[in-house]
A and B are shown apart, each in its own frame.
Chain A
Amino acid sequence: MKEGDRWGPMLSVAWLGAGLVHVALAFLWAPDPRSTSWADPIAFRIFFFHVPLAWSGYLAFGIVFAASIVFLRTRNARWDHLAVASAGVGVVLISLALVTGALWQEAETGEYWRWDDARLFTTFVLWLVYLAYVALRSTGEGGEGEARMAAIYGIVAFASVPISFFSVRLLPALHPPPGSREYMTPVFVAVLLVGVVVFTLLYLLLLRHRLALLKQALTLEEAKQSLEGA
């Protein structure tokens, strides 16, 4: 058994345990928000999943950005693979952040979607930008030229992350601005931080799995080329 194969199940079990602890803390330990500006204090607990999902999605796209820069400097295909894998995982995480956010919004305002919420709109654009990246990479022919163009795209696309994050400071939004303290008691911060750790670990696990798949696809491609050459 390879070293990596032994770590995979152990990390997955550790993540599952941490995830269960996080769910229990969010349901049982975290008190209702002290602010009266939230219509539904129970639905507010979606916050503990929604925010870490969005954070891990931003992290995934940050890795795409960093890996794209390193790829352009070194032309080492490993960094391109990291960018592709991270973008795929990031799209899944941001999709879930959008879905949980829509459910929370419905509980608060009676509407699943509001185009006048700057954070919602800019995050939707961010999701589309990276969905396009993933679609292009999964249908492309591969090769150095495609990887180079994708790296440039991955660097430019990252602009949508700070736009999404800071949009609530610049434009009208239902989302509270980052660092807002109107509902943040120490217990809330603690449960939120546990959530951030759990979903960051999830991101790393999924990234590891995606990278293993990319490696396997390359092995297959090389084996097919050998077969054609034989």
Chain B
Amino acid sequence: MPSGFESLSIALALTYVGIFGYVLYLHVVQRRLQREVAIVQEALRAGGKK
């Protein structure tokens, strides 16, 4: 059974790990979307040149 200080530390760590983990997830999704948008736009430009 964790002590009061351990419970507090775990709660704080989980809160901030959870927040930063979510932010990291959002960044990963953003990068993937940016890559996909760039690929599609490149294909559109290539199609327009034909």
Q: How many A-B residue pairs have CB under 8 A?
A: 90
- Once A107-B4, A220-B36 are accepted as A-B contacts, the answer to whether A206 and B43 lie under 8 Å apart by CB is no
Could you say which residues of chain B place their CB within 8 Å of the CB of A202? Answer: 19
Q: What's the Cα separation between A107 and B1 when bound, in Å?
A: 8
Interface size (A, Cβ < 8 Å)? Answer: 37
Q: Are B40 and A224 in contact (CB under 8 A)?
A: yes
- Asked whether any CB of chain B lies closer than 8 Å to the CB of A96, the reply is yes
Could you say which residues of chain A place their CB within 8 Å of the CB of B22? Answer: 92, 206
Q: Are B8 and A45 in contact (CB under 8 A)?
A: yes
Q: Are A209 and B18 in contact (CB under 8 A)?
A: no
Could you say which residues of chain B place their CB within 8 Å of the CB of A18? Answer: none
- Asked whether any CB of chain B lies closer than 8 Å to the CB of A223, the reply is yes
Could you say which residues of chain B place their CB within 8 Å of the CB of A41? Answer: 4
Q: What's the Cα separation between A213 and B30 when bound, in Å?
A: 6
- Majority-rule SS of A interface residues: helix
Q: What's the Cα separation between A43 and B18 when bound, in Å?
A: 19
Smallest distance from the beta carbon of A26 to chain B beta carbons, Å?
8
| Chain B 2-38 near chain A by CB (<8 Å), digits 1 or 0 | 1111011011101110110011001001100110110
Q: Are A100 and B14 in contact (CB under 8 A)?
A: yes
* Closest B residue to A217 using CB positions: B33
- Once A99-B14, A227-B44 are accepted as A-B contacts, the answer to whether A216 and B33 lie under 8 Å apart by CB is yes
Smallest distance from the beta carbon of B24 to chain A beta carbons, Å?
11
In the complex, chain A residues 58-98 whose Cβ is within 8 Å of any chain B Cβ: 92, 95-96
Q: Which positions in A face B, CB cutoff 8 Å?
A: 19, 23, 40-46, 49-50, 53, 92, 95-96, 99-100, 103-104, 106-107, 110, 202, 206, 209-210, 212-213, 216-217, 219-220, 223-224, 226-227, 230
